[in-house]
Structure 1
Amino acid sequence: MSAPFKQQASLDAWMRRQYALSAAKMMSAISRVDLVKERRGFGRQVRPVKGSILASPVIAAYDPDPDYFFHWLRDSAVIIDALRLLIESGEIARSDGLAHFSDFLGFSLTLCGLDGRSFLAGAGDYRGKVEPHFAQFLRPETELLAISGDDILGEPRFDPDGSIDILKWSRPQHDGPALRVLAVARFCRSVGPGPDILKQAEQLILRDLGFTFARWRAPSFDIWEEELGRHYYTQLIQCEALREGGLWLLSRGAIESASAYLDAAQEIATGLDDFWSAPHGFLRSRIAAPDSGPQKELDIATVLAVIHAGRNAGPHSICDSRLIATLGRLEALFAKAYAINAARPGADAPAMGRYDGDRYYSGGAYFFSTLGAAEFYFKAAQAVAKGLLDDASQWARLGLETEHDNNHLFDALMRRGDQFMATVAAYTPESGDLSEQFDQTDGAQTSAKNLAWSHAAFISAYASRTKAIRAAKGGSP
């Protein structure tokens, strides 16, 4: 843990500095054609190509840090969404951002065309290069042969050289293509790419929408890649992607496809209410997951779902009392569960993890979880400034001072978001490095180093804070 935050510069100054650091560190995960990953036990040498996005550019091999030298569909969509924010703020030049976006689209479209049978035909005797101990981690060839058509979009990750991942993993995962629809659509609306890039974007969106529409009823593995079932995060992201995609196709005159997508979005939206547990007072993260224990039902994934879906009003949004109650339950859970929270200064918000009893690495706090809580409060403050949220009572139950009027509610929400940012500051070194986790006992950074998602989460939270302040001043959010 770094020196106590009260000994550092002001929170505002720290956030401005960290924004620049996180921008640079996140960008270092994009198109790292200069890196080479040796997976010696598998007889593989991996060289990233342009457009690929590494989950972490820090090379590791479970020694002890995990091997995150992969292009995850989910993570890459989160990073592209943050790239948009960096362009909006002027941190990244528009021309540079568009070049990265075009490379990402090209790489993603190449992945869409992969096929298991073709991959095996060109892979030669790759199994003969694998050391005996590592053979147990290889996917069965029958599984690879079965990948055809849009099955490839159920793959959660790929080697960044553009090839199919040959290692056993949790498959299928159905959130990545839907999340990519939202990220690419937002980028196009905000940045306004030229016709060539826009054509690439539309091709990718259509592929991802088709996959999402065909698969939304099918069970898949969750955001944490642990359990097969029906998951709130996946379903909400699918709902929003199909809704946005349907409206987009409607504007283009594709009435039949638009109607099918909008009908599916409405059906998913109705089903999302199934996740609410009135006896427990929170939205469950999963149902119909046979191997799941009850401790996993209360999960930060529900909060991240609302943020990633961009739901800022209406049911299953940051204005929904059920989400607010769920966030309150999560704060109480981690405040009690983690030793670092017991020792935190009274004004700080708790470091947030994933769910009760997490055993992955330190099983501790995650930077993107804690930053997700901050962003939730900042987005709620922006909703207040825009007149979308005016019921202070649901927030008062969380201990926020919300009396008198919306100005007080806005201030209380911003203050709470800043408290979460201060907690992140307390566990961030001078270098600005953000790993995946920080230990629940001593706050030491653990798991993957400089996780691109952690930096993207900071960028997104800080951007939401800036937009909330701007909205309160009467400017464009």
Structure 2
Amino acid sequence: MPHSKSRPHFWLADNDEESAAAAPQQQQQQVRGSYLQSILAGRSVTTDDAVYPAYTDAVRADRGSRAPLLLEKQTSRLLPESPYSGFTSGYGSDGDNYSDEYDAPKRPWRAIVLFPFIAGIVYAAILFSYLACDPSATTAAATGTSGEFDQWIHSQRQLAWNGVLANIGPAAGAMDGLVIASPSKGEPNQPDYYFTWSRDSALTVSSLLPSFLPDDYLRPWEYTTSPPHARAHNHTHPLLEGLVRSYARAQAELQVVPNPSGDLWSGGLSEPKFHVDGKPFTHPWGRPQRDGPALRALALIPYAHWLLDRGYPADRAFVVNHLYNSNALRRSGSVIKNDLEEIANMWSLPSFDIWEELDGRHLFTDAVTRRALQAGALLAKRLGDTHAAAYYGTQAERLALQLPNHFNTTAGYWAASHSVQYTTPRAGLDSASMLAVIHAGVRHTSEDVTDLAPNSPAVLSTLLAYVRSFAGLYSLNSDSSSWTDGWLVGRYAEDVYDGVGFRGGNPWYIATFTVAQVLYRAQAAFALADSVQLSPLTASFWADILNEDEDDIPIAGEWTRGSDEYDVATQRIGEVADAFLLRGLSAARRHYGSMAEQIGSSDGKNRGARDLTWSYASFLEVARARDEAKLAMAMGGDDDVDGRDLDAVSDQLFAGEDAL
């Protein structure tokens, strides 16, 4: 029987008087959602420009009556209960209590009475709609035109959302705010993943931020103080703000725990994992891992900006007391500042990679560290910490100069690592390179190769080489002769870790969804640029995507909007992304939506750690990327839209402005 992990209790948000009173003010921004989740939850956005204006008008005309429905479908009006729903005193190592704490509404008694009945109905409904979908979806479903496929994604999104929240804090048996990697505790055929990893935790919190913060905050290295930040205070939900605060407090506690990597001042912030009660893990491990503090900073800097933009005195007090205190280089409770000091001074030293196996230099670690330093410089400048801002900016520039060393110019792809000692030969083609594009790349076309733009020739060439490396490796893919039909892929082709031992690698949910997400991001970037850049690096990629001879693909110039080549290419890249997403969903469906770490290479069964938090988070991210790509395809080329900036377009559309 598939594992059925206990879920957190539920409470009815709309039974809460304070939430109900605030609803009219918040609905408008809530409907806008995280990367427009409501598109799939409600109406499907067509890529036909002629149809899209009608959709826009319908949203405007129907906003008042549809807002509650879309809000319900986006996050579910039945919100998982969390231990973070209320705080009465602040955290501080010196014992101080702060008056700026968030105090969430109390749960009404009616929710407690109705919980068993309503929770059962909701969960049964999700599973029924999920199981009603055909796992061997037709070609129409794979191309994203099937309403059934959209419903399948919507159902899995709710299950993934619950899966993430079930693995945070007391609901998972952990300290408040700590994210466990998995509930697996070393049972038969299970590894012991019942720990909190700094990296996994930060990536998980980052996956939730789009449901909490407007899009403009989500890439903090590009943050500006210009509108629409003035209205950002309307885009929130008490549950998620409480969770982020609790996460910040928990990380503050971990930062001062002496561990095998050091302490607050001597490298301890790069310790990869801790016990779920916050105690150090002292056994041998691949340490240090310097991506952890960088990712934690990237997870919390958006919230710091959002608080400063909301502008209440208590908001600024929380930033100063808990996130970034410019009066000391490092101190207890200054989570972001501590991490920035750590990475600014340690980035040039070796580190273990994202998979905890190789000690050296790694593209993912360097890329996210650069972005954290850039984002940190902007936040420091805003808070008046000018000397630190200059230092972080300088270190980011120095690190950027090192990034080209990761590119294999002979083979034409981004290698995951260099300056490492391999125990067995590896080509360097690794899902970690694709993860670097997702978590440190820009979302638009860029001439700077180190920006890791998803539609850049270097990234597309890397994706092609990486996916092709799995040809013939997993029997589960034997029904698809071409990777463009959608393959299940793993971390890297030479992998032998099977989730428990080392008897041969398997596909991973994270890796498969990452390929889909990069393709969706590329589709959106092409749509916003109104063109597809061609180069010798992309000839093989487009030959496979378009099922043509490579000799027939140009190696220079561009395909521009309105040409047959552009229209077919941008449509096809979305179809291939859907095919990879469909593969991962098909594997999850046979386990009622539960996602482990790996998928058995021959039988498709869940392998390794069960209910892996990162697997659920990766699905939430790829679903949002699909939403964004659909919107970009619909909006790109519209002469009535000022510019091709997706954030501005989506803000206008869902804020009810008349610019469209």
TM-aligned CA deviation for residue 75 of structure 1: 0.2
Given the alignment, which residue of 487, 502, 507 partners 1:365? 507
Alignment-derived partner of residue 173 in structure 1? 289
Q: Say if 2:302 is the partner of 1:186.
A: yes
| Compared CA separation, residues 97 and 389, structure 1 to 2 (3 A) | farther
Structure 2: runs of 5+ lacking an equivalent:
3-130, 142-146, 216-234, 325-333, 499-503, 547-558, 636-648, 652-660
Q: Say if 2:165 is the partner of 1:27.
A: yes
| Compared CA separation, residues 93 and 266, structure 1 to 2 (3 A) | closer
Q: Tell me if the contact between 1:285 and 1:299 (Cα under 8 Å) persists in the aligned partners.
A: yes
Q: Tell me if the contact between 1:427 and 1:443 (Cα under 8 Å) persists in the aligned partners.
A: yes
- Cα deviation, 1:408-445, whole Å, max 9, x if unaligned, reads 33322221211111111221125211111101222211
Pairing of 1:60-459 with structure 2 (within 5 A): 60-61=185-186, 63-87=188-212, 94-116=237-259, 143=260, 147=263, 149-189=265-305, 194-199=315-320, 200-202=322-324, 203-313=334-444, 314=446, 315-316=449-450, 317=452, 318-344=454-480, 348-361=485-498, 362-387=504-529, 390-392=532-534, 395=538, 397-398=540-541, 399-401=544-546, 404=564, 406-429=566-589, 431-459=592-620
More moved, 318-327 vs 452-461: 318-327
Work out the percentage of aligned pairs sharing the same amino acid.
Answer: 26
More moved, 147-156 vs 261-270: 147-156
Q: Tell me if the contact between 1:229 and 1:289 (Cα under 8 Å) persists in the aligned partners.
A: yes
SS in 2 for 1:319: coil
Count of residues paired in the alignment? 436
Aligned equivalents of 2:209, 2:410: Cα separation in 1: 40
Aligned equivalents of 1:335, 1:219: Cα separation in 2: 32
TM-score for the superposition, normalised by structure 2: 0.62
TM-aligned CA deviation for residue 34 of structure 1: 5.8
TM-score for the superposition, normalised by structure 1: 0.84
Aligned equivalents of 1:96, 1:86: Cα separation in 2: 11
Aligned equivalents of 2:620, 2:531: Cα separation in 1: 24
SS in 1 for 2:611: coil
| Compared CA separation, residues 215 and 190, structure 1 to 2 (3 A) | same
Q: Tell me if the contact between 1:81 and 1:187 (Cα under 8 Å) persists in the aligned partners.
A: no
Q: Tell me if the contact between 1:285 and 1:298 (Cα under 8 Å) persists in the aligned partners.
A: yes
Alignment-derived partner of residue 52 in structure 1? 178
- Cα deviation, 1:259-290, whole Å, max 9, x if unaligned, reads 22122112211211111112222211111112
Name the aligned partner's letter for residue 634 of structure 2.
K
Q: Tell me if the contact between 2:184 and 2:609 (Cα under 8 Å) persists in the aligned partners.
A: no
More moved, 457-466 vs 380-389: 380-389
| Compared CA separation, residues 389 and 299, structure 1 to 2 (3 A) | farther
| Compared CA separation, residues 473 and 103, structure 1 to 2 (3 A) | same
Alignment-derived partner of residue 131 in structure 1? none
TM-aligned CA deviation for residue 147 of structure 1: 4.2
More moved, 160-169 vs 450-459: 160-169
TM-aligned CA deviation for residue 88 of structure 1: 5.5
Aligned equivalents of 1:367, 1:169: Cα separation in 2: 24
TM-aligned CA deviation for residue 89 of structure 1: 9.5
Aligned equivalents of 1:216, 1:357: Cα separation in 2: 28
TM-aligned CA deviation for residue 293 of structure 1: 4.0
Name the aligned partner's letter for residue 155 of structure 1.
E
Structure 1: runs of 5+ lacking an equivalent:
36-47, 117-142
| Compared CA separation, residues 327 and 279, structure 1 to 2 (3 A) | same
TM-aligned CA deviation for residue 352 of structure 1: 1.2
Aligned equivalents of 1:458, 1:468: Cα separation in 2: 15
| Compared CA separation, residues 322 and 182, structure 1 to 2 (3 A) | same
More moved, 449-458 vs 303-312: 303-312
In our comparison, the structure showing a higher alpha carbon Rg is 2
Aligned equivalents of 1:68, 1:113: Cα separation in 2: 23
Aligned equivalents of 2:172, 2:355: Cα separation in 1: 29
Aligned equivalents of 1:189, 1:5: Cα separation in 2: 45
TM-aligned CA deviation for residue 205 of structure 1: 1.3
